[in-house]
Structure 1
Amino acid sequence: MSVAPRHRLWLLGAVLLIASGLFLVWGLRAPYGFILGLRVTKVAALLLVGASVGAATVMFQTVAHNRLLTPGIVGFDALFVLLQTTLVIMLGGVGYVSLPQIPKFLIESLTLTAAAVALFSLVLRRGADDMTRLVLTGVIFGILMRGLTGFMQRILDPSEFAVVQQATYATFGAVDPLQLSIAAPLFAIVLALSIRIGPSLDVAALGRTQSLSLGVDHDRLVLLVLTLISLLIAVATALAGPITFLGLLAASLAAASIGTYRHRILIPAAAAVGALILVFGQFVFERLLGFQSTLAVIVEFLGGLLFLFLVLKRRPT
């Protein structure tokens, strides 16, 4: 007897809850309050980043009509690295490290969101029916920003370059609780709105012509969805750094495990899978294997393999 998609979603939630509990209490030692507080902050960051990237990727794939794409393809990661490099050049290594965390987080989040919304509005100003042009424009901008970043990093001295490298690697050990207090409510609002427009996304997945014939304002919906995606990815990237292929893993595993393309179920499922990948992966590396700062590398490696598999699996049209 098959399990209903909604029940599978609840099962995913239960597994995520168990994994989070294991991360919090496994090997807990005195001083309990201090260590537990650090772990709660890290788990919250893992949950928020994983859920944001997973949900955003599902919506991006829907409006792009391509299950191989992730929001990182339009240059979020390249812009984040360029922003960190620019700050180090302007302030110096010591000045950058001395930046207050909350203003820095807000600057990064607002810059990433504003840049993404500006790109979407500029490219899609004549209508939201040309996502291919948007993706290609994002790829080109990403290449340009990576080239500019590479040039800027060449003029840094070794100590400042080390600061840039540390700042551009995804890490969950240095997340400020105040950052989470800002990011969490924003994430909850955006995710709730994303789930609310799930039925419209079901229609949008059929294509622009079918959407318009069924009474859905496709262009306005796509611009709204892209804005929500920008907020989710900007907050997640500013909070912990870029993890390009996490979304592809989360979206693919969610679709396979849930067995439905109804977005009111698929979006929270992808959010749960993305969070579960980070929480369980960090638990294995930190608690069982005793490794540090290797999860992002493994996620990127597995995501890259999945991307190659999906590309090779597709039949030519």
Structure 2
Amino acid sequence: MKKFFHSSAAKIIVLLLAVLLVCTLYLSYKTYGNWAFALELRGKKLLAFIFVGVAAAFSTISFQTMTQNHFLTPNILGLDSLYVFIQTLLFFILGGQQLLGKETIGTFLINVLLMVAASIVLSRFLLRKGSNDLFLLLMIGIILGTFFNSISTFLQVVMDPNEYDLLQGKLFASFGNVNSQHLMIAGVLITLLVGFLWMKSATLDVLHLGNDQATSLGVDVPRFQFILLTVISGLIGLSTALVGPVTFLGFIVANMSYQLMGTYRHRDLFLGGSLLSILLLVFGQFLVEQVFQLNTTLSIVIEFGGGLYFVGKIISERKQRG
């Protein structure tokens, strides 16, 4: 019995019960009998939490396995910066009021495709042979992120102040104004991509041993890395286009799941990370709405907490090595 409670299955069951409890609390707290209204308003947010949380957990854990580094996240490829650049450019050229008034499924998919296409182009030209190409890809991702940020900042400086004010609402993660049509499309696509990573869990387990060991065990590492980067880019692109950039979420839940699950079996890590992600998002939004009275946003809480956790992990690693 004691061995069972220390197993991955028991930890996942406890996390699942915690998620169900927090979700029930979030949906039912202060509804004052207006269940239909509460479910319509909060239910859409809850679905967004689930999709974004699962996408962040699966993509970050897979990316960290591929790079053999627990400090890196897929956002290092510059996808967040590319999203900011695309939104800034569209607002600058077309105008914020016209763009916000004509948000269609097409514009949503264009945002996703542009971000995925940029990552595929990088992967295609740089991930060929040899482990060094992967780190070259990461370095170029950082450079491109800086480049996109510089152009975005310049356009925002010369932009009309009213347009800039509207733009800010698109550049920060927001779960309150999720488009229902976009949510359903993103949900279907995220489910397909997550399903692919779930089926490739055994290959990821082997890749965790290192590129040389994976190659000797029959894995075509360059090809698998390319497919993996495409899927990861799709997950990050979908979640970013749906609610906006949430940089530190994946880093937090991935590293917490490593510590909590105590295993490197990816199916256990995927389940644990996804449940942790949903738990943090739903409980965080509950605090934002009911405790802080909407005086702050969930994205600010995540970024602040994630930054502290990142610094704390660096200090902890240095102490262990020292």
- TM-score (norm. length: structure 1): 0.95
- Measure, in 2, the Cα distance between the counterparts of 1:225 and 1:12: 27
Choose which of 196, 220, 241 in structure 1 pairs with 2:199. 196
Listed one character per residue, the Cα deviations across residues 212-236 of structure 1 (whole Å, up to 9, x for unaligned) are 1111121222112111111110110
Note if 1:252 corresponds to 2:270.
Answer: no
Note if 1:305 corresponds to 2:311.
Answer: no
The residue that corresponds to 1:13 in the other structure is 16
- Measure, in 2, the Cα distance between the counterparts of 1:143 and 1:187: 28
User: CA 1:101 to 1:292, structure 2 compared with 1: closer, same or farther past 3 Å?
Assistant: farther
- Measure, in 2, the Cα distance between the counterparts of 1:82 and 1:303: 23
- Measure, in 1, the Cα distance between the counterparts of 2:167 and 2:235: 23
Which stretches in structure 1 are left out of the alignment for 5+ residues?
none
Distance apart, 1:168 and its partner CA = 0.3
The residue that corresponds to 2:88 in the other structure is 85
Listed one character per residue, the Cα deviations across residues 19-44 of structure 1 (whole Å, up to 9, x for unaligned) are 11111111113543123211100110
Contact 1:49–1:236 (Cα < 8 Å) also in 2: yes
- Measure, in 1, the Cα distance between the counterparts of 2:121 and 2:313: 31
- Measure, in 2, the Cα distance between the counterparts of 1:309 and 1:100: 40
- Measure, in 2, the Cα distance between the counterparts of 1:100 and 1:243: 21
Distance apart, 1:103 and its partner CA = 2.2
Distance apart, 1:274 and its partner CA = 1.4
Which stretches in structure 2 are left out of the alignment for 5+ residues?
none
Choose which of 275, 279, 283 in structure 1 pairs with 2:278. 275
Choose which of 90, 98, 102 in structure 2 pairs with 1:99. 102
Q: Secondary structure at the match of 1:242?
A: coil
Identity %: 36
Count residues in correspondence.
Answer: 317
Q: Secondary structure at the match of 1:130?
A: helix
The residue that corresponds to 2:156 in the other structure is 153
Q: Secondary structure at the match of 2:95?
A: helix
The residue that corresponds to 2:142 in the other structure is 139
The residue that corresponds to 2:244 in the other structure is 241
Listed one character per residue, the Cα deviations across residues 49-76 of structure 1 (whole Å, up to 9, x for unaligned) are 1221121111110000100011111101
Q: 1:268 is aligned with what amino acid?
A: L
- TM-score (norm. length: structure 2): 0.94
Q: 1:242 is aligned with what amino acid?
A: P
Note if 1:217 corresponds to 2:212.
Answer: no
- Measure, in 2, the Cα distance between the counterparts of 1:271 and 1:137: 29
Q: 1:177 is aligned with what amino acid?
A: S
Contact 2:127–2:225 (Cα < 8 Å) also in 1: no
Contact 2:128–2:222 (Cα < 8 Å) also in 1: no
Q: 2:180 is aligned with what amino acid?
A: P
Listed one character per residue, the Cα deviations across residues 247-293 of structure 1 (whole Å, up to 9, x for unaligned) are 11010111111111100111222122112111111012212332255
Segment drifting more, 247-256 vs 111-120? 111-120
- Measure, in 2, the Cα distance between the counterparts of 1:120 and 1:294: 34
The residue that corresponds to 1:59 in the other structure is 62
Q: 1:68 is aligned with what amino acid?
A: F
The residue that corresponds to 1:171 in the other structure is 174
The residue that corresponds to 2:74 in the other structure is 71
Note if 1:42 corresponds to 2:31.
Answer: no
Q: 2:154 is aligned with what amino acid?
A: F
Q: Secondary structure at the match of 1:314?
A: helix
The residue that corresponds to 1:26 in the other structure is 29
- Measure, in 1, the Cα distance between the counterparts of 2:254 and 2:97: 39
Choose which of 130, 148, 152 in structure 1 pairs with 2:133. 130
Task: Flag the structure with more relative contact order, 1 or 2, with Cα contacts below 8 A and sequence separation at least 6.
Answer: 1
Distance apart, 1:101 and its partner CA = 3.6
Contact 1:93–1:163 (Cα < 8 Å) also in 2: yes
Q: 1:258 is aligned with what amino acid?
A: M
Distance apart, 1:128 and its partner CA = 5.7
- Measure, in 2, the Cα distance between the counterparts of 1:268 and 1:175: 25
Segment drifting more, 287-296 vs 137-146? 287-296
- Measure, in 1, the Cα distance between the counterparts of 2:253 and 2:104: 29
User: CA 1:293 to 1:113, structure 2 compared with 1: closer, same or farther past 3 Å?
Assistant: farther
Distance apart, 1:244 and its partner CA = 0.7
